[in-house]
Structure 1
């Protein structure tokens, strides 16, 4: 193929940003002049009908899904509030199955993962989706190993992105794979974004997470932990704050938070350290102390386990000061999460 045909599947209720992040990235990649095989980007929909993307936005489709033929370089399923209807639409599911067989790689953005799951393309694979819909996806498709944390996951030829702007991260990863880091770096500058956030970077943090825990005792403990990160946050100490036994507190946390108290403490300490790394110039030792880590080595090991990169690299990437090109050492990422390539 002289071009790389890319088909983005939309439907009534698709999210415009899920589509635009992809079309803009590939379109701008063509415009850089460094692309060996330009992308031929198509937005397709059932019957070629216009795609309603929310109040006041109607996106015209370039082709009918059922008339699209291959081979395709990349097939991408957009997400959106209409994903549930799309996943139960036999026409959409059947043609996604058909097109996936003639595509080099297949991906979804946000809740578009439900369409891939309905087509059986995620069976036995790790996949992600928007954190708000992860539990529903896991319950409806038990053969899919749903991980709600990463911003994107690559498992063989199938990729799933967490939602909305994570489509930009996935598109940049594809462009780097196809045309090299120099083209991706140039494009990232044009888009005023990171070259590529690490794929296993968490979708949410303690600063943007959802509602507080419903259980008053658990909520009291979480508030105490957030305000006292450098203090004694052992399960026994937290049980005293809650006024219950340590075993009962663990049961309450597993029910209300989905984690043990100890795991949740590590999560909050790591998120707090990540925020300080990006927003301050404090040395690692000070950050480790403020966030309750016993040493900088403990902080480093925790970051490697959570993000796949050490805290110094995390700071460089997220403050836009890392000019190196490197991949995460083998074994530091879960399978299928991709590599962490810093921005210019």
Structure 2
């Protein structure tokens, strides 16, 4: 439900500031739709009666990709897409765009849990599983749930400028800071939270001071275990080596400094990087943009929400 309600709310909020959008809900046959959580949603019309649209957005489904095997849904998309200025998918809605050939030869994304299936079923698509949203010409795809809101804010920014998009973000109590290339989730959060004293000790040690030496020997000494035992426990619990976990935490610290407006060199130093070059290389590897590019994007769309 959030796949279409979230973006729709962004466009509705935009209408309080600009004469911007008419929101139309469509189904393949004009019948109401029941969401996965059992909420019945009324629609305005059948797809065949909609006429040309400015923006066509296809929400996702927990039943993907099988739900997009429905010929009526695919026929509706094929009928609507050519007349739309831009076409976007949210979450597993990417399978609908894929099935209709709209993603052929293009980069695209979807929710990370669906990405392997999308890549396997459609090898002609350049699946980017870590991106929040991807644009290629007039075709957009997003990672889903909250990322649909990020995509909608980006579309509003394209249409009406950053100031309008910032005001919407403030009204919705979200931070307009996530560019399409940003990771769906930080590396340090890809594994389950630490459960044992050993793994928690690693997190505590790095959090206390990311600039101090965080070698496996230092970590093992702090946790009062052998390096071999430390390595095994951290790998089992966090899905990465102690070294990689330290790097991911340092990158999270550095990203926070950048978002607060700190110079790149200072963000690198305060996060424990030995050089700006090393920091830049690590940052690009995770987020696909340089620290300076990330900060510039963040600061141009930043809005602090007061409650």
TM-score (norm 2): 0.75
2:119 to 138, 150, 154: 138
Alignment of 1:49 onto 2:34: no
Asked if the contact 1:100/1:106 (under 8 Å) is kept, the reply is yes
Structure 1 residue 155: Cα displacement: 0.9
Please state which structure has a larger fraction of its residues in helix: 2
* SS in structure 2 of the partner of residue 81 of structure 1: coil
Alpha carbons of structure 1 residues 190 and 87: separation in structure 2 relative to 1, 3 Å: same
1:203 to 184, 191, 196: 184
Equivalent residues, number: 282
Gaps of 5+ in 2: 217-225, 230-234
Alpha carbons of structure 1 residues 117 and 266: separation in structure 2 relative to 1, 3 Å: farther
Give the match for residue 275 of structure 2: 295
Structure 1 residue 193: Cα displacement: 2.0
Alpha-carbon distance in structure 1 between the residues aligned to 2:94 and 2:63:
12
Give the match for residue 74 of structure 2: 93
Alpha-carbon distance in structure 2 between the residues aligned to 1:261 and 1:117:
39
Give the match for residue 216 of structure 1: none
Structure 1 residue 169: Cα displacement: 1.1
Give the match for residue 214 of structure 2: 231
* SS in structure 2 of the partner of residue 160 of structure 1: strand
Alignment of 1:21 onto 2:6: yes
Alpha-carbon distance in structure 1 between the residues aligned to 2:268 and 2:58:
41
Alpha-carbon distance in structure 2 between the residues aligned to 1:200 and 1:43:
29
Alpha-carbon distance in structure 2 between the residues aligned to 1:85 and 1:68:
25
Give the match for residue 223 of structure 2: none
Give the match for residue 185 of structure 1: 166
Q: Deviations over 1:251-298 (max 9, x none)?
A: xx9xx97x99998875554235335666x9998667635654212443
Alignment of 1:60 onto 2:42: yes
Q: Deviations over 1:78-99 (max 9, x none)?
A: 0121332332111111221221
Q: Deviations over 1:206-238 (max 9, x none)?
A: 3432459xxxxxxx99x97996674347xxxxx
Alignment of 1:147 onto 2:121: no
Structure 1 residue 135: Cα displacement: 0.7
Alpha carbons of structure 1 residues 94 and 266: separation in structure 2 relative to 1, 3 Å: farther
Structure 1 residue 205: Cα displacement: 1.6
Q: After TM superposition, list the pairs within 5 Å mapping 1:86-125 onto structure 2.
A: 86-125=67-106
Give the match for residue 171 of structure 1: 152
Alpha-carbon distance in structure 1 between the residues aligned to 2:303 and 2:284:
19
Gaps of 5+ in 1: 1-15, 213-219, 234-239, 244-252, 326-340
Alpha carbons of structure 1 residues 265 and 154: separation in structure 2 relative to 1, 3 Å: farther
Q: After TM superposition, list the pairs within 5 Å mapping 1:265-276 onto structure 2.
A: 267=248, 269-274=250-255
Q: CA RMSD in A?
A: 3.8
TM-score (norm 1): 0.68
* SS in structure 2 of the partner of residue 159 of structure 1: strand
